[in-house]
Chain A
Amino acid sequence: MYSQGLIGADGTTHEDEEFLTAFQARIDAELKIEPNDPMPAGYRKTLVRQIAQHAHSEIVGMLPEGNWITRAPTLRRKAALLAKVQDEGGHGLYLYSAAETLGVSREELVDQLLSGKAKYSSIFNYPTQTWADIGTIGWLVDGAAIMNQIPLCRCSFGPYARAMIRVCKEESFHQRQGYEIMLTLCRGSDEQKAMAQDALNRWWWPSLMMFGPHDAESTHSDQSMAWKIKRFTNDELRQKFIDATVPQAEFLGLTVPDPELKWNEDKGGYDHGEIDWNEFWSVVKGNGICNRARLKARRMAHDDNAWVREAALAYAEKASVRETAVAAQ
């Protein structure tokens, strides 16, 4: 999901050759860049953009899954889903903090999300229609996120890399949980199997889109690769995901909705049909099924509860004045 964080990223930078060479030497030596280290402005900007979009994705991602908390079919599933969505919120918090080390505030970043200036992963603009969508999101969406995030654990920027280590552990757990929901459905009644197949049909292609445009279209990839913000190209990660996921679908007895999907012995991977890039760009530009509803929900949570945050701030100020007064006595 996080390759999309680089769409439109502007890595242009204006430092002199000596500075850039020294910086690149640190990167090439696999030294981690820490918040107070000198870094090119383009590096900082690219990271803020990517980490912020990652954080926004976690927060907006709470909405489609949150849609099923009150309707989860058993108490065990309800508790697991609530805990999972809570984890996503925790990832968001963690990532906003990582972005803040680069000198940008959470408030600024949230404002960019709410104004529509900042993006989040296109996948969360699809609706969760049935319970099987909850299983499918865990299996495919978290599965794709892991593919993206495992290499990010080695990202050159220290705080982001360290955040990813913890996030990946939790995402792996979510992915297994999602797959287990699918397994239960696929071993269940005909209705349940049909529900699982229907969910796979709807989520397969959007999941592949999570890796972002083809490498040839991904204009800012090269600089990010050189800076080791990114370790693999979009197409490489997408291929890994397909190769890992198709056998899982087969084990479930489900059919991947791509008639052109075929094992290619020579490349040791699957060939697949073309992704509908018109759909992808339409969703990225804000015209997916749920784009408007997702932003509206986030804005409402923010605006309708502004009085709560104002109260907390006012109280903190009063309390601090009182403390000062007591200390002065």
Chain B
Amino acid sequence: MADLMPDMIAGAKFKYVLRLADDQLILGQRLGEWCGHAPTLEEDLALANIGLDLLGQARSLFTYAGEVEGEGRSEDDLAFLRQERDYFNALLMEQPNGDFAVTIVRQLFHAAFMVPFWSAMTGSSDKTLAAVAAKSLKEVEYHLRHCSEWIIRLGDGTEESHVRTQAALDELWGYASELFEMDEVADEMLVTGVGVDAAALKDDWDATVDAVLARATLNRPEDSWSQTGGRSGQHSEHMGHILSDLQYMQRTYPGLSW
């Protein structure tokens, strides 16, 4: 297959890497909003740390996406100069920070997915992606531990923190399913040994999240609703506002070096 349609495969790989980059960029951007406003000084440092990890991963992935595309686009061209419809992050990543419970639940959903995802990706036939995966895995393992500890503290803390965290779970639950979606692009990457079977990671994610929620005395919400669209560039109303900030300088002063 790789011999028959190299262009098509390169196109799919470009999109696949771009999706992955967008997830980390948009979530990293959201975490950057917390800087200076977190519940404790220690947590301010921790959220910045997680944000920095995600931005670092995004940079490696954007640079690689540009190489795969072969049209000379840099990490910044890709990160800053696309239309909203051409960003492919999962909708979970663009959800507003809300209160601290929302932020931590969002991060838990992400980390509980990325740990098995990067772990599987270390076996990719694509050496660059395998290398990014090995580095990123260590980082998201820490994110998962950090968020799990918080969920447990908040769920089993005070009545208020329990109520808030349960509400955050209920608010974000339907956004988790998008992480496990497979489509033509993802299938092609799986078949060629480049990508990961995201659907197969659901059991792992369930086990991780269920264990944390049980210790936190929180209820796992019903799987009664789900949202989708990010992978095809159909975003929530939040995305445009994220891009207004993200793209502000590049759009206002086109073509300059910073």
Residues of A within 8 A of B (CB): 59, 62-63, 66, 69-79, 82-83, 85-86, 89-90, 92-93, 96, 131, 181, 184-185, 188-189, 191-192, 297, 300-301, 304-305, 307-316, 318
Say yes or no: A70 contacts B51, CB within 8 Å: no
Minimum C-beta distance from A50 to chain B (A): 19
Quick check: A307 and B161 within 8 Å, CB to CB? yes
Q: Once the chains are docked, how many angstroms separate the CA of A75 from the CA of B59?
A: 7
Cβ contact of A315, chosen from B37, B100, B152, cutoff 8 A: B152
Q: Smallest distance from the beta carbon of B228 to chain A beta carbons, Å? A: 26
Contact pick for A92, options B41, B62, B156, CB 8 Å: B41
Q: Lowest 8 CB-CB distances: which A-B pairs, in order? A: A311-B157, A311-B161, A305-B39, A73-B249, A308-B39, A73-B258, A62-B36, A86-B48
**Which residue of B33, B59, B158, B246 has the most chain A CB atoms within 10 A of its CB atom?**
B158
C-alpha spacing A79/B25, complex, angstroms: 11
B164 touches A307 (CB 8 A): yes
- B197 to chain A minimum Cβ distance, whole angstroms, is 29
| Contact A310 B75, beta carbon cutoff 8 Å | no
Closest CB in chain A relative to B90 CB, distance in Å: 20
The docked-state distance in angstroms from the alpha carbon of A184 to that of B258 is 6
B32/A311 in contact, CB under 8 A: no
- List the A residue with the shortest CB-CB distance to B242: A70
Since A71-B249, A73-B258, A93-B41 are in contact, a sample of 10 more A-B pairs with Cβ atoms closer than 8 Å, ordered by chain A residue number, is A75-B55, A82-B32, A82-B48, A82-B55, A86-B45, A86-B49, A308-B43, A311-B161, A314-B158, A318-B156
The residue that A308 contacts in the complex, of B58, B100, B253, with Cβ under 8 A, is: B100
Are A72 and B249 in contact, CB atoms less than 8 angstroms apart?
Answer: yes
Q: How far is the CA of A309 from the CA of B41 in the complex (A)?
A: 11
How far apart are A65's CB and chain B's nearest CB, in angstroms?
A: 8
Expressed in whole angstroms, the minimum distance between the Cβ of B213 and any Cβ of chain A is 15
Interface size on B, residues (CB 8 A): 48
Task: Check B124 for interface membership: any CB of A closer than 8 A.
Answer: no
Partner among A59, A307, A312 whose Cβ is within 8 Å of the Cβ of B160: A307
Q: Which residues of B contact A (CB under 8 A)?
A: 25, 29, 32-33, 35-45, 48-49, 51-52, 55-56, 58-59, 62, 75-76, 79-80, 99-100, 152-154, 156-158, 160-161, 164, 245-246, 248-250, 253, 256-258
Contact across chains for B157 and A89 when beta carbons are under 8 A apart: no
Q: If A82-B51, A86-B45, A315-B156 touch, does A74 touch B258 (CB 8 Å cutoff)?
A: yes
Which secondary structure dominates where chain B touches chain A?
Answer: helix
* A62 CA to B21 CA, complexed, in Å: 27
CA distance A90 to B49 in the complex (A): 11
Query: Which one of A66, A83, A305, A313 contacts B36 once the chains associate, using CB atoms below 8 Å?
Result: A66
By a CB distance below 8 angstroms, the chain A residues around B75 are 75
Q: Is the CB of A314 within 8 A of B157?
A: yes
Contact across chains for A188 and B256 when beta carbons are under 8 A apart: yes
Residue of B nearest to A59 (CB): B41
- Do B36 and A63 have beta carbons less than 8 Å apart? yes
User: Within the complex, what minimum Cβ distance (angstroms) separates A17 from chain B?
Assistant: 42
Q: Are B39 and A79 in contact (CB under 8 A)?
A: no
Q: Which residues of B contact A74 (CB under 8 A)?
A: 76, 80, 258
CA distance A217 to B28 in the complex (A): 47
- Which residues from B are CB-within-8-Å of A77? 258
Q: For residue A76, which residues in chain B have a CB less than 8 angstroms away from its CB?
A: 59
Whether A300 touches B62, Cβ cut-off 8 Å, given contacts A82-B52, A308-B100, A311-B154, is: no
Is the CB–CB distance between A310 and B160 below 8 Å?
A: yes
Closest A residue to B245 using CB positions = A70
Q: A62-B36, A297-B36 are in contact. Are A308 and B76 (CB under 8 A)?
A: no
A66 to B161, CA, bound (A): 27
Q: Which residues of B contact A78 (CB under 8 A)?
A: 32, 55
Task: List chain A residues, Cβ under 8 A from B59.
Answer: 75-76, 79
Q: Verify B154–A62 contact, CB threshold 8 A.
A: no
